[in-house]
Amino acid sequence: MQTRVRPALLLVILAVLTLLAFCVALAVGSVPRPPGKVIAALAGGGDALTRTLVLELRLPRAVTAFSVGGLLALAGALMQVLLRNPLADPYILGVSGGAAVGALLSLLLGLAGYWVSGSAFIGALISMLIVFVLAHGRGGWTPTRLLLTGIVVAFGWSAAISLLLVLSDNASLRGMLFWLMGDLAYRSSGWLALIVLAAGLVVCLPFARHLNVLARGETLAEALGVAVRPFSIAIYIAASLFTAVAVTEAGAIGFVGLVIPHLLRLVSGSDHRLLLPGAVLAGGSLLMLADTLARTVIAPEQLPAGVVTAAIGVPVFLYLLNRARGPL
């Protein structure tokens, strides 16, 4: 890319975008509220209806959407460096498959609420552990071995998902499908995910230059002073945990984790010190906007947020890809 938006400027733009998306997510809904009343409600005043709508329904949902989008984008950026593969996404190593199997099992048993998210998280952890242990073959922990192990485990999970869908009755099938497509309704307050996201970014940012070095290749990174093996294991664990939290909160929302890091690479280059916070802001605002659309387009019915992220993201990404000069 010959032209690059100045780095600081890009982060400012993304921060403004995030703020706008946040305001839209609070102000827009099936019951429209004027901006003045929304601000009053946020400040602690306003009428009861607006307060309930904004503080109890829309705010937690916006926070969840932002955190999940941010976590997925962050995990995607990390996975791409870990595997040195631009096609890597947070789900590629099977974390979401494990979570899905956990969630669907609990739905099949007629459980709801925290049981579902709890079993999703446990499923994600089990999958993460399986891939981690199996990828330690005799030949060591190479990206290719990790990738193949993850993909095969993910295949296993997806077969199990199909089996569970076939076994389930019609009543629970709809809930299962929504879970699989990614959906932010009926979720927790989102603050936990936001804390994980903030902590994750704080932990990852100081290592962003190490990520730049590792992105250039494993042996080169080792030769330039990065302890590659412990660092790779740390990236794997961090990315998997972020994914597990995101999937537990909102199901397997696709697209954000693959495309947001890419989009940032297209626009701002490959310095992870900008890419990581940029991806968090962009991923978070994309999912907030997508979720706002998802709950308003055919209100009072809701669309799965995953469908809307794709509907917004696919054209934007294709436009940028098409516009990018030179090969990628």
Partner 1 sequence: MNTPLLETRGLSVTIAGKSVCRNLELQLQPGDCLALLGPNGAGKTTLLHTLAGLRTPAQGEVLVDGTPIQKLSRRCIAQRLGLLMQQPEDSLPATALETALIGRHPHIDFWRWESHSDVNLARRALKLVGLDGLEQRVQSQLSGGERRRLDIATILTQDPQILLLDEPAHQLDLHYQLALLAHFRHLARELGHSVVMSLHDVNLAARFCSQVLLLFGAGETFAGTTDKLNSELLSRLYHTPVTAVRAMGGTVFLPG
Site residues (vs partner 1, CB under 8 A): 1-2, 80-81, 84-86, 143, 206, 209-210, 212-213, 215-220, 222-227, 265, 269-271, 273, 326-328
Angle between helices 191-204 and 272-296 (to 10 degrees): 160
**Closest separation in Å from C-beta 225 to partner 1:** 3
60 upstream amide cis, omega within 30 of 0: no
Residue closer to partner 1 by CB (options 21, 83) is 83
**Closest separation in Å from C-beta 80 to partner 1:** 7
Q: Which of 197, 239, 270 is nearest to 88 (CA)?
A: 239
- Nearest 5°: the CA angle 276, 282, 323 is 100
Length of the chain: 328
Residue closer to partner 1 by CB (options 146, 164) is 146
Q: Tokens 């446990």: give the residue.
A: 122
Is residue 253 within 8 A of residue 312, CB to CB? The reply is no
Residue closer to partner 1 by CB (options 93, 288) is 93
Residue 229 neighbours by CB distance under 10 Å: 12
**Closest separation in Å from C-beta 87 to partner 1:** 11
**Closest separation in Å from C-beta 311 to partner 1:** 28
Residue closer to partner 1 by CB (options 25, 78) is 78
Residue closer to partner 1 by CB (options 40, 222) is 222
245-257 per-residue burial string, b: 16 or more CB within 10 A, e: under 16: bbbbbbbbbbbbb
Rounded CA-CA distance 265/175 in Å is 36
**Closest separation in Å from C-beta 84 to partner 1:** 5
**Closest separation in Å from C-beta 122 to partner 1:** 33
DSSP 3-state of 235: helix
DSSP 3-state of 140: strand
**Closest separation in Å from C-beta 140 to partner 1:** 12
**Which pair of tokens denotes residue 78?**
């990390």
Residue closer to partner 1 by CB (options 234, 307) is 234
Angle between helices 59-83 and 228-250 (to 10 degrees): 150
Residue closer to partner 1 by CB (options 175, 271) is 271
Residue closer to partner 1 by CB (options 142, 172) is 142
Report how many helices (DSSP H) and strands (DSSP E) the chain contains, helices first.
15, 0
Residue closer to partner 1 by CB (options 32, 326) is 326
**Closest separation in Å from C-beta 5 to partner 1:** 14
**Which pair of tokens denotes residue 141?**
């922990």
DSSP codes joined into one string, 253-290: --SHHHHHHHHHHHHH-S-HHHHHHHHHHHHHHHHHHH
Secondary structure element (H or E) that encloses residue 29, with its range = none
Is residue 54 within 8 A of residue 60, CB to CB? The reply is no
**Closest separation in Å from C-beta 263 to partner 1:** 14
